[in-house]
Amino acid sequence: MSELETIWENIVVLVGACFLAGLIGGFGAYLAESDTIGFNSFKEKITQLKQYLSYRHIPDDMQASILFFHHCRWKDSQTLDERETLSILPEPLQLDISFAVKQRVIRLVPILDTLPDIVQKRIAHCLILQVYSLRHHPTIYSQGDIGFEIYFIASGVVQIALPDDITELDETGRANADANKQKFESIGLILGAGNHIGESCLCSKSGVRQETIVCRGLEKVELYVLQKDDLNDICSLMGPESGSKLKHALLSRNKSNWHSFNDIAGIDDWENEVSSSTEHLTSRQNSLDKRSSFFPWATPTTGARSTENRRRSSVSQPQRRFSSVSSDILQKQFVEQRNRLKQYEQQQSSDSDSDSSSRSEIV
């Protein structure tokens, strides 16, 4: 083989390798560009997020918290936006899927576990996952922060720090300072799976937080957040009486511990939010008696109760569901929504048939 032939073969090999590399790179770029919901899209989103955080000179610890949150969300759902993925489905299917995914959280919280199935599905559909860790994002919220969310702990452990100076709190927070202290003396300053925090926002107009809550331990903390407005909507569907009892239970009981025996400032405000036309109960003692019969599993075994209340609580049998009236109403609304969806589909099909017949007549 001559020297000229050797040079020619080398040139052919190099050109072929360049063409092959360009072809593979082109297909890789095309697939990456076409992937709008998969892992490549997630990596592109993280890259853009890092560039933005770096351009805005966000502190490193805050950058780590934001990236940790996005990685946990991707690992949990494998989608960029879970709600957008489900939004194309009919509402009954959205409720079923949300409940199937989040029913573990519902089962951990005794108050939610005793609700009717349709109410559990609506609550599950409103829950939003948030992830914290001692290393990346330790503080859930601090005293004086503004927030209108209830946090249900799915995994991990959190620690509560009560304020030394209550002057930073709003009027409702100062009025409930003693009750808040009594609550955490009863349930403890370390909370885990099945407990809920932040429920004081239900009776606060300003949303000023009354305590500081941080992660404890090396494992991550998974919290499911329920917005106050979403809870108000669900309670309005349940009816004024059942909705008020659900909120009373969230404010008075945490997992298996009853911690409130007295009036809570601000209760009247959210009772008016549920239904302004509903008459208030004649006294707070009557309200407590009715809550005890409605939530017998939430009746305190210790504390300031009369002998008559103890006798009543021992006679009452545990009830696993809310009143059948509110459950029937919610089930009826669910059936009506499904029937309206079927009627709409039938109307669409009939319109398309009429259009096709009219076009055939014209032809």
With beta carbons less than 8 A apart as the criterion, state whether 152 and 127 touch: yes
Distance, CA of 198 to CA of 208 (rounded, Å):
10
Which H/E stretch holds residue 157? strand 157-161
Q: What angle do CA 115, 237, 322 make, to 5 degrees?
A: 25
List the one residue out of 98, 60, 358, 118 whose CA is nearest residue 237. Answer: 118
Q: Which residue has the tokens 């799976």?
A: 193
Distance, CA of 111 to CA of 249 (rounded, Å):
7
Which H/E stretch holds residue 33? helix 3-34
Per-residue pLDDT, 225: 95
Q: What angle do CA 228, 181, 286 make, to 5 degrees?
A: 65
Per-residue pLDDT, 111: 92
Encoded tokens for 86:
């489900």
With beta carbons less than 8 A apart as the criterion, state whether 232 and 274 touch: yes
Per-residue pLDDT, 322: 39
**10 Å Cβ neighbour count for 112?**
23
Phi, then psi, of 165 in degrees rounded to 5 = -120, 110
Distance, CA of 128 to CA of 123 (rounded, Å):
10
Encoded tokens for 191:
């909370």
Contacts of 363 (CB under 8 A, 6+ apart): none
Q: What is the DSSP letter of 321?
A: S
Encoded tokens for 213:
């809550």
* Partner residues linked to 133 by β-bridges: 137
Encoded tokens for 232:
């108000």
Q: How far apart are the two ends of the chain, measured CA to CA in Å? A: 75
Q: What is the DSSP letter of 280?
A: P
Beta strand spans in 55-186 (E): 128-132, 139-141, 149-155, 157-161
Q: Which amino acid is at 288?
A: L
Q: Which amino acid is at 58?
A: I
Contacts of 6 (CB under 8 A, 6+ apart): none
Supply the pTM of this predicted model: 0.64
Q: What is the DSSP letter of 238?
A: H
Q: What angle do CA 249, 273, 305 make, to 5 degrees?
A: 30
For the chain, how long is the longest CA-to-CA vector?
Answer: 113
Per-residue pLDDT, 230: 94
Beta strand spans in 228-324 (E): 253-254, 257-258
With beta carbons less than 8 A apart as the criterion, state whether 251 and 204 touch: no
With beta carbons less than 8 A apart as the criterion, state whether 148 and 227 touch: yes
Encoded tokens for 288:
């407590």
Contacts of 121 (CB under 8 A, 6+ apart): 95, 96, 98, 99
Per-residue pLDDT, 325: 41
**10 Å Cβ neighbour count for 146?**
12
Taking each continuous run of H as one helix and of E as one strand, the counts in the chain are 15, 10
Question: What are the average pLDDT values for consecutive 10-residue runs of the chain, which has 363 residues?
Answer: 79 86 77 63 84 89 84 76 78 91 93 93 93 86 91 94 82 82 87 92 86 88 94 91 90 83 58 48 41 38 38 38 46 64 68 54 41
Per-residue pLDDT, 154: 94
